[in-house]
Each structure stands twice: as structure tokens, then as C-alpha cells.
Structure 1
Amino acid sequence: MKTIINPKTSSWSDLLKRPTQTLENIENTVNQIFSDVERSGDKAINKYTELFDGATLESVIVSANEIADATNQVSEELKQAIQTAKQNIQLFHSAQKTERVSVQTAVGIECWQDKRPIQKVGLYIPGGTAPLFSTVLMLAVPAQIAGCKEIVLCSPPNREGKIANEILYAAQLCGVTKIIKVGGIQAIAGLTFGTTAIPKVYKIFGPGNQYVTVAKQLATKYGVAIDMPAGPSELLVVADDSANAAYVASDLLSQAEHGSDSQVILVSTSKSLIAKVSEEVETQIQNLPRKAFAQKAIDNSKLIYVDSDVVALKMINAYAPEHLIVCTNNNDFYVDQIENAGSVFIGNYTPESAGDYASGTNHTLPTNGFSKAYSGVNLDSFTKSITFQKISKEGILNIGNTIELMAEAEGLQAHKNAVTLRLNDLKK
């Protein structure tokens, strides 16, 4: 990891740049696959599944027998761990339910807001080198709590045409209604347009690589909503001498092992901590099974020394990390004033891994600086708010003239007439 001392504010933009590919190259590929799936449906889906995943499938739909077999293959110990995580995620997301908001804005005018579940949702679960069954819990649990009727899960198969046993077990545990063995751009396209095998959905959720992220953004052009742009994982740790260097290094590596396009950054007011963390990273990385992935991410990552907490906070808000770990003598300063972050982890004993798996918060979070404008997945992500109003005779008499004046000022005579006709009837 490269160490930078007191970088000038003018250099922060380049210093904190994510290690992403050029958007133009990705967009061309995504557009081509979307067009192919829109034209040819399952035929195109199968072609790209064979091309990218090396799997030739008779059916992309996971059968009940496959789910049962997969469930039997998961150890009882892991099943218990998954159930514990599910319970915590369920508790946290259930607590996010809100009651109807109702108010009388004026005499005779009642306005209220209710939430309704999104009926059809698509969940994208990354597979590949690290099948993320934990993401099934993070997406399917709140979808189930919200009351979504159709919960369609897509995940890439391996070369044998199978999805990881743990993903299938978690999916059936959390009420997923249909599981599809399709990944990547073609999965997002299938959920966008609908095919014989893949239902068209109203909103797509889930993280993925840069190609999946761009595919989700393209889906919005076809009237399908998305949770957020969620691409390669990233972590920023702010720490000082109160932090345990070994813990900090382990947190940096936990995100680095996601993949070579991940990014981890340490911002610190302590040069001695930076030196210790650098040594710990070099030691700990040697024993990681995913060392090759982690090493590439570490090569793109940085250790940054700044003089004060004030500068550190300014840098963090400029970077807008997906995950932020705060481990300093002045934690409240950061917690109270952080403006841009997907999820925050506080203190020596709060590893980011806890949020990834089992503490209860959601790990599907905005990356690439999008936490400046987007929230992570929560219960509201699976609902939409509908407003209602009911106006009595007295109410329209009270507010009618106000509406008439405003409509006339905007030059919308029909709007005014809709009120005037009612007022005239009531004044007879």
C-alpha cells in the first residue's frame, strides 16, 4: 500500500479515484447484450451463460429437487449460523416499519400516506469466486417483511450448471419465489425485459461488478427501478493511536479479498499507526486463500496521513465510502458529522464483517461515491409511498379559491374549472 503524507486538497480527487474501467468500454458490451436479450429472449440468455459461465443448461429455473438436495448438503452448523444472521437482519428491518401518516391540513381536508410493497422484485446475487449467500439474506428478508409477492433471484451457475448450495438454502429460507441460474449482464437484461423463463420485475436489487452496475443503470431506461449503483466493494478506515493495528489491517484485507477492483483506504492522524498497519497487512495477507485477489486490491489502495480530525473528516466526506470504520479517540466527532457514507462501524470491536453477515444492518450499499446521494438497502427500498386525500364540501369551500387563483396564474384554465364547477354547485 502506498503511503501519502498530508496530501493537498487539490490532489484529493486524483488520490481517491476508484480503480474502475472506462465506462465507454463497459457500456458498449452492456448495450449489445441488452439488445440481444430484448430480441431473442432465452436464446440470448443461454448463449451468454455458456459464453461467460461455461454452463450449458436444459433449464435455467432451479427445481424444488435441486433446492432440497442443496439444503441437505449444507452443514447443520452453517444452517444455524445463517438462521441466526437472518433473525438479526429480520429484527433490524422489521423495526423500520412505519405507521400511516395522517393529517388534517385544513378544515375538511384530510391527507394521508400509506406504504405498499413493490409487487415484483428481482434480486441479483453475485456468484463466481465468492458466492455471496449472505446477500440473499440482505435482500430477501426485507422483501419478505415488506410483503413483495414475487421475489425472483438470479445468480450465475458454475460450469456444472449449479448455484452454490448455501445460496439455494438461504433463498428457500427467506421466501424467494423463483430462482434462476443466470448471472451478469444477461440476468439484469432478463429481469428488465422478461423472457419465457425469467419474469419481468419492477425493481432490481443487488451488488455486482462494474458490468452489472452499468446494466442496472441501463435497466432504468426501460422503466425498471434499481436500488442503487452498487459496484466493486470499498472501505475507508479512519484511525489513530487508539486503534489496534492488527484489527485495522484485518478490516482492510477483508474488503480487499472481494476482488482486484476493490479499494481500501486508511486515513490516520498517526504515522506510527500507519507503519504498524502496513506491516500487519504484509504479514496477514500471506495466509489468505484469496491472496491473489487481495494483493491486487491492496496495490490500488492507500495509507494517508493527515494532521487533524477536521481534515480527515473533510477527506472522508469527499470520498463518500461504501463502508466507513471509525476507530479514534474522538469517535463522536466523526459519527455526529459524517455526511457521506453507506454504513458506519464504530470502535475496535466493530469489524465491517459484522455488517456483512450477521449484526442486522444491510450490506447492500452505494459505492463509487454514490453514498453522497443514495442510501443502502432498507425496508423502504421494497415499498413505495402512496398519498391519499379526501376533501369534504366544507373543505373545497375553504381551499377552492386558493386553487382557482393559482391555476389561473399558471394559465391552466381546466384546472381552475374543475374547482369552479364544484364551488358554483355548492353556492346555489
Structure 2
Amino acid sequence: MLDLAEELDRWTEEGREYAVATVVAVGGSAPRGPGAALAVDSAGTVIGSVSGGCVEGAVYDLCLQALETGESVTERFGYSDDDAFAVGLTCGGTIDMLITPVGGQAPARRVLASALSAAVRREPTALARIVRGPAGLLGRALLVRPDGAYEGGVGGGPDLDAAVAAEARALLETGRTGTVELSADGSRCPGGLTVLVESNVPPPRMIVFGAVDFASALARAGRFLGYHVTVCDARPVFATRARFPDADEVVVDWPHRYLRRTGTDARTVLCVLTHDAKFDVPLLKAALRLPVAFVGAMGSRRTHEDRNRRLRAEGVTERELTRLRSPIGLDLGARTPEETALSIAAEIVAVRRGGTGVPLTGSRTPIHRDEAEHGGDRPRPRRDRPGAGRTAPGAARGRADSAAVPRIRHPG
């Protein structure tokens, strides 16, 4: 639900009552991952998405029903072989969902309000909620901060709260969203409880070196993908805010000096677009020794070979050189700066998600890969203004299952 933090924080401040459906787990070719959410207020306004359209109508209806009953429920949606036109995932996957009412008397409202407020302020926090267990604990929430402090409770006593907080903190440290299994007494052994942990961390960084036309287009693409974009160049006449309005930061400094003094982590993407040896070699020598997610450099194949020769002369090892994505980008036949930025962005996504870059037509590669395998810190699309809500069209009435363990649902 932290995907909708800006809008839901505003709803909370306005005193609205609403219900949130959050994806807990997916199987097969489901379109959205854990943490994706859809929310409906008491007036019927809906924001967000949990399936790209497949089951939105039924989920909308379940949210309204949760607002009426005041109870959290779980539900599983899956593909129906008998009726491919039933409300379900015709892509063949399954989605487990938690539907939580957030009314004035909801037990978790205060904790959820704190989590939404922290997400809007971009403070690193983890929101943990019970998604499988005794009915009385379903939907109970706990907000965990990086130092291990937490507020709220999951309703099973201090030992269970401490265990949930420890597990949530571990996921927060890696920026991941996912589920953990615990016993009701708080032990780490898988038992009667499943906890969904949503990590809220600052957006990952994309640092673009070289204030060129390609950098302007790539800054737009990076912002669209949810990155915090910095453009860096040693030439002040080129590195200006006017030339890069979509960048979060424009820095005038020698690239290698800036890289050494700025913060990076395992999600950071470094794109070197200068293709000038006096900038590239000292920069890449430093970049290839950092534990970042992606290091790519622009240039012709001749430039690439010359750059590698210079890097070897500077002591860069063959193993370090294997990390360099050069020439940067996928082969799209790109010509314009915008097309080139698209090819670079496509390679970044492919590396991040373990994609092959080959056309899906005629291939047998899976469309959706296991997010945990390739990192769960998906960047959220950047939005400068909260999106306007919309009222859903008539939704097919569904049945909520208040049991703690989801069942396959094929409404209709």
C-alpha cells in the first residue's frame, strides 16, 4: 500500500474512511508484485491497481464490503480452466490479497497513518502486517524503523512484536518487500503466521556522467522509472539546470571525484556517456570497484576497446572489466537521443530483473520472473502530484472469505 502513499496520506488527513487491497504473494504469470495496492473510499473513489485490470472489479467490491463489515479478509484470485471469462487471472497466475478497512475505529489506522506519512517524507521504514493467522490478528500492523524501534503491534504479545520487528528490519536493510513465516510464539520457525513486510526506502540513484543530449533524454527515462537522477559533468557551461530540467541534481565536478564523495549502494546505476578517455578512465576505474547494480559506458566498439586497454593499464582486472556494460544499451537500432535513452533504460531493466532482452514473440522465456531472485527493491514511478481518483464502473459483486488461509477464487 506504500505505492499509494501520497494519495492515502491525503485521504487520512481528510478523515476519509477507506479500504486497501494489497498484493501479498503471486504465483505464475501474475502482472503485479507484492505490495501493489488498490484503495477505495466510502464514496466509491478508487486509486491504484493490483492486477492490471483482470480482477479490479471484484477487488473493488471486496473493499466496499470490508468497509461495511470493518473486518480484514484475505482472498486468492486465480485462472479458471472451466470459464476463461470468469473474473480471474487469464494470464494463468494467482494473486493472494489482503483487504484491510481503514476506518476511524480500525485497530491499525494509527500505525498505517504513520507509515504513509513516513513514506511521503521518504523516511526509511518497514510496514509489517499479519496476512495469515488467527482472524483476530489479520491486518494488525507494526511500523519498524532502521534502528529497530517500532510502533504498533500485531496483537500476539511483546515476544511476537519483537520477532516481527526483527524480521521487518532485516528486509528493510535490503530494501525488499515480501513475506516471512513465524510461529505464533514469535519463534523463527515457520508456523501459523505469515507476515507481509513492505519496505519503504529512498528511490535508487541513477548517476549520469556527461552533460550531453543523450543525458537529457536518459534523465527523463530514469525519472520515469523511479530513480533519483543526478547529472554530473566537469564543464559548467554544459552542466546547467536549464539543460537538464528532469534531473533531481546537476553537479559540476570531475566525475571520478564526485563518485568518490557521493553515496552509492547496491541499487545504484552509473551511466557514463562522455566517451572521453580523460573523464572515462579514472571514473570507470573507481566505478568498477564499487558494489553498485549497473555500470555502463557509451561509445563505439573502437572506443570500447581503447577504453578497456587504458583501464587494464591502470590496473583494472579482467574480472572487474566483466562488470562493464559497453557499448551501453540494447540493440534497438536507436538513432535519436530519446531512442538511445530507451535502449539504455531497457538494458538497465533487463539487468535488474534478469531479462534476456530478446523479443517475447517466439521465445519461451518467462514474462514475469521471481522478484525475490533479482531483488525486490522495485523503484516506484515518480509522481510530482497525487493522481486524481476515479470512480470504478459497475463491479461484479463478489464474496469475501474471512478465513485466514486464502482459497482460489473464480467469481461468476
TM range, normalised to the smaller chain? 0.3 to 0.5
Structure with the higher strand share, 1 or 2: 2
Which has the bigger relative contact order, CA under 8 A and spacing at least 6? 1
Please say which structure displays the higher CA radius of gyration: 1
TM-score, normalised relative to structure 1 = 0.35
TM-score, normalised relative to structure 2 = 0.36
